[in-house]
Amino acid sequence: MGKFGILYIVSTPIGNLGDMTIRGIEILKNVSLIGAEDTRNSGKLLKKYEIRTPMISYHKFNERSRVEKILGILGNGEDVAIISDAGTPGISDPSSIIVRQAIEKNIQVVTLPGATAFIPALISSGLNCERFYFVGFLPDKETKRRELLESLVLIKDTLVFYEAPHRLIKFLIKIKEVFGNRKIVIARELSKLYETYYRTTIDEVLTNPAMITLKGEFVIIVEGAQEKEYSNAELTEMLKTELDIGKSKNDAIKKVQKLTGVSKNKVYSLALKIKENLK
């Protein structure tokens, strides 16, 4: 078999077209084909930089079927680039399937450093950016969303989320239910005219939602879990909440332990006391 082409993953601006890199433009000019999430949207970018390379659509609904075609082109020794609507493909955008398949076939994958929304948001947030955890969008389904949030509750690293404007307040209500009140930074419209940072807390926004202009695009940076000493009264209250919704004693213990990180023995003895008081 002849030599394969290279698969390039190219970041595009998240608002300010000036954030396209020189190397990114050169690669997009030189590849044989560009797989774009939305060819109409990317058409504007290509026009601005006089890139005349043909495009095909490559989005989450046709990703699997497009992989075959793109691998065929790479197999002929031609280079292909993948771009998304904004930022870096693979970050809450398609590209993982083609990347994995290319690696499996020993095709070289070159990802260019470039624009993405969460890095500027994290750095300007002023919260700890030495260690962070990128979550992206929460799942739509309530059970999956809750499961994920509960798995994050004890993480001390800064948490990074993406959310759409019309769901932002609901998102804050959901994270408050699991995390309690925390410091947050809401980064809006990065690199655009109305770029704004709201350095605040979950409670502050929930008591005064009007403080946020709910238009545009948002990254939400949430402070990681702080060391917290739970009093017996707090733990008992949490256990009671779980028992009240019909959980068995063992399930209630597991849940409270998972949410607080307090030792199983301690939670167990408090649960026994509740049961004894009920007798």
**Is 272 one of the binding residues for ligand SAM (CB under 6 A)?**
no
Closest to ligand SAM by CB, 194 vs 261, is 194
Rounded least distance, CB 11 to ligand SAM, Å:
7
CA-nearest of 71, 66, 60 to 103 is: 71
**CB closer to ligand SAM, 160 vs 259:** 160
Binding mask 87-116 for ligand SAM (x = CB under 6 A): xx--xxx----------------------x
Does 124 interact with ligand SAM (rule: CB under 6 A)? no
Site residues (CB under 6 A) for ligand SAM, limited to 188-227: 189-192, 217-219
Binding of ligand SAM by 74 (CB under 6 A): no
- How far, in Å, CA of 220 to CA of 166, rounded? 14
Q: Which helix (H) or strand (E) holds 101?
A: helix 96-104
Q: At 135, which amino acid appears?
A: V
102: tokens are 């290319």
Minimal distance, residue 125 CB to ligand SAM, in Å: 12
Strand 183-188 and strand 218-222: pairing?
antiparallel
Q: Is 9 in the site for ligand SAM (CB under 6 A)?
A: no
Sheet holding 218-222, edge to edge: 132-136, 158-163, 218-222, 183-188, 196-201
Binding residues among 16-35 for ligand SAM as defined by CB under 6 A? none
Give the number of residues written for the chain.
279
Q: For residue 253, how many C-alpha atoms fall within 13 Å in the half-sphere facing its CB?
A: 16
Binding site for ligand SAM (CB under 6 A): 14-15, 84, 86-88, 91-93, 116-118, 162-164, 187, 189-192, 217-219
